[in-house]
Amino acid sequence: MNGRERFLSSFDGKTVDRPPVWLMRQAGRYLPGYRAVRAKAGFWDVCHDPELSTKVALEPLARFPLDAAIVFSDILVIPQALGLDVTFGTGDGPRVGKPLRTRADLDGWNTQGLIDRLQFLPRAVKHLSAALKGSHAMIGFAGAPFTLFSYCVEGGSSDDFRLPRVMLHQEPKLAEAALATLADAAAELLNAQLDAGADAVQLFDTWGGLLAPDEYEKFALPALRRITDQLKGRRVLLFVRGGHHLLPLLGDSGAGGFSLDWRTPFAEARARYPNHVLQGNVDPVLLFAPEQVVRDRTAALLNDMRSTQYTRCIANLGHGILPGTPETAVEALCQTVVNANASR
Ligand code: 1CP
C-alpha cells in the first residue's frame, strides 16, 4: 500500500495497515532546501513557478516517510486575486494593503475572471501530480472565509483581529456579503485544484476559534456551507484552530473530515463524529521537547485512532509546523506512525 492508496482508503472508510501521515506546513522554513530556494526567490515567485513550487513541495517527502504532499501556495492568494495588496515581509507576517472597511471597498473587489488570475495554482497541482506519479496523495487548500475575511479587514495579522470581529456586529450585511464573495472564490479555487489532480482539499480556518459559538454559527458556518455545497462528493477537510468549543457545530459545515488542533481531545471528537474523517493533532510545540515526548504523544494518538482500526484517521499536527523545528523530531513522529502496528 503506497501513501496515496493509504490516504484514500483511510479517507473513504476502507481498511488500512496504519493511519496515513502528513504535516500541516510541511514544506516550510524548518527545511534547509526551502530556505535555500527562498534565499534566491521571493515567496510569490515560488508560488508562480511550477518547477520551484514542486521542488519545495517534494522536499519533505524525500526526507520523511509521509503519505501526502500539499501543494505550495498560501491562503492569501484569494485576497490578492481580488485586488488587495498582499505582501510577505520578514518576521511579522503578511500585510494586506487596501483593507476592507466600507461597502465601497467590497464593491472594488475584482471578482471578474478571478480564476484566470489563480491559474498558477491548478498549474502547480498538475506539475506536482505528474512528479508524484500516484506515490503520494496530493492535497490542495484554501483559506476558510472567516480567516480570509479576518486578514482582509484587519490588513494583516493580529492577536485578536478586533476590526473584523467588530465588523460582524457593526456591519453584519457587509460582513456577510464579503464572506459570501470569499466563499465563492474559495469554492472555485478548490474545484480547480481537484480538477487538476488534487485528491482532497483542506480549508484552513486558522482564526475561526476566536469566535463564540453563536458568532461562528451565524457568520462562519453559512460561508463554509456555501463552499461545501459547491464541492459535493469531493474530499474536504476543515481545520479550525482553537475550535474545541465549536466542535458541536462543525458537523453542519458539510466537510467530510475535521482537522483537530491539539486542544481538542481526539477521543471526544471521535465520540461525536463516528463517521467523519478525523485528522490531527500533535501539538507542534512538542516537537521541541525531548524525542521521547514526541514518540509518547504520537503513540497516545495512535491508541485513540484504534477505535476505528485507523480508518477515517489521518495523523498530523494540531497546527502548522514551526520554523526551527528539529528534523529529528519530525522523523520521530513519522516513524512512530509508520510503526503503528509493531508497537501495538
Ligand atoms: O507545506 C507548506 O508550507 C504548504 C504551503 C502553505 C500553507 C498550507 C503556506 C506557505 N501557507 C499555508 C497556509 C496559511 N498561510 C495559513 C493557514 C495555516 C496556518 O494557520 O498555519 C495561514 C494563516 C497563512 C497566512 C500566512 N502566510 C502566514 C501566517 C501569518 C499569521 O497571521 O500568523 C505566514 C507567515 C505566511 C507566509 C507563508 N506561507 C507559506 C510559507 C512557507 C510562508 C512563510 C514565507 C517565508 O518566509 O518563506
Measure the CA angle with vertex 238, ends 312 and 70; round to 5°.
80
Residues annotated as catalytic (active site), given as ranges: 25, 29, 38, 74, 151
Counting atoms of ligand 1 from 1, which one is nearest the CA of 76?
25
Q: What is the pLDDT of residue 252?
A: 98
Give mean pLDDT, residues 240-265.
Answer: 98
How many A from CA of 339 to the centre of ligand 1? 30
* pLDDT exceeds 90 at position 91: no
Give mean pLDDT, residues 130-140.
Answer: 98
Half-sphere exposure of 64 (CA within 13 A, CB side): 27
Counting atoms of ligand 1 from 1, which one is nearest the CA of 57?
1
Q: What is the pLDDT of residue 173?
A: 98
Q: What confidence tier does 93 reach under pLDDT thresholds 50, 70, 90?
A: confident
C-alpha cell at 33: 532546501
Give mean pLDDT, residues 65-73.
Answer: 98
How many A from CA of 248 to the centre of ligand 1? 27
Q: Whose CA is nearest to atom 25 of ligand 1?
A: 75
C-alpha cell at 81: 486575486
Is pTM, for the whole model, over 0.95?
yes
Q: How many residues are there in the chain?
A: 344
Cα dihedral across residues 68, 244, 203, 44: positive or negative? negative
Q: Whose CA is nearest to atom 8 of ligand 1?
A: 25
Q: Helix/strand/coil (H, E, C) string of the chain? A: CCHHHHHHHHHCCCCCCCCCECCCCCCCCCCHHHHHHHHHCCHHHHHHCHHHHHHHHHHHHHHCCCCEEECCCCCCHHHHHCCCEEEECCCCCEEEECCCCCHHHHHCCCCCCHHHHCCHHHHHHHHHHHHHCCCCEEEEEEECHHHHHHHHHHCECCCCCHHHHHHHHHCHHHHHHHHHHHHHHHHHHHHHHHHCCCCEEEEEECCHHHCCHHHHHHHHHHHHHHHHHCCCCCCEEEEECCCHHHHHHHHHHCCCEEECCCCCCHHHHHHHCCCCEEEEEECHHHHHCCHHHHHHHHHHHHHHHHHHCCCCEEEEECCCCCCCCCHHHHHHHHHHHHCCCCCC
Counting atoms of ligand 1 from 1, which one is nearest the CA of 141?
8
Q: What is the pLDDT of residue 344?
A: 55
Give mean pLDDT, residues 112-116.
Answer: 97
Q: State which of 58, 61, 75 you would mutate to test the pocket of ligand 1, scoring each by most atoms of that ligand within 8 A of its C-beta.
A: 75
Contact, 284 vs 241, CB < 8 A?
no
Q: What is the pLDDT of residue 73?
A: 97
Q: Whose CA is nearest to atom 12 of ligand 1?
A: 74
A 10 A CB-CB count for 222 gives 16
What torsion, rounded to 10 degrees, do the Cα atoms 227, 280, 321, 221 define?
Answer: 30
* pLDDT exceeds 60 at position 317: yes
Q: Whose CA is nearest to atom 23 of ligand 1?
A: 206
Query: Does the N-terminal peptide bond of residue 281 adopt cis geometry, omega within 30 degrees of 0?
Result: yes
Q: What confidence tier does 189 reach under pLDDT thresholds 50, 70, 90?
A: very high
Q: What is the pLDDT of residue 157?
A: 94
How many A from CA of 25 to the centre of ligand 1? 7
How many A from CA of 288 to the centre of ligand 1? 20
Q: How far apart are CA 141 and CA 130, in angstroms?
A: 18
Residues flanking ligand 1, CB < 6 Å: 25-29, 38, 43, 70, 72-76, 88, 93-94, 141, 157, 204, 206, 320
* pLDDT exceeds 90 at position 302: yes
Q: How far apart are CA 337 and CA 335, in angstroms?
A: 5
Give mean pLDDT, residues 164-174.
Answer: 98
Q: What is the pLDDT of residue 246?
A: 98
Average pLDDT taken over every residue of the chain: 97
Q: Whose CA is nearest to atom 41 of ligand 1?
A: 28
Q: What is the pLDDT of residue 92?
A: 73
Instruction: Give the N- to C-terminal CA distance of the chain in Å, as an integer.
Output: 20
Give mean pLDDT, residues 77-90.
Answer: 92
How many A from CA of 73 to the centre of ligand 1? 8
C-alpha cell at 18: 496504519
Q: What is the pLDDT of residue 342?
A: 74
Q: How far apart are CA 23 and CA 64, in angstroms?
A: 10
C-alpha cell at 309: 482500526
Q: In the block, which residue shows the cell 477515517?
A: 312
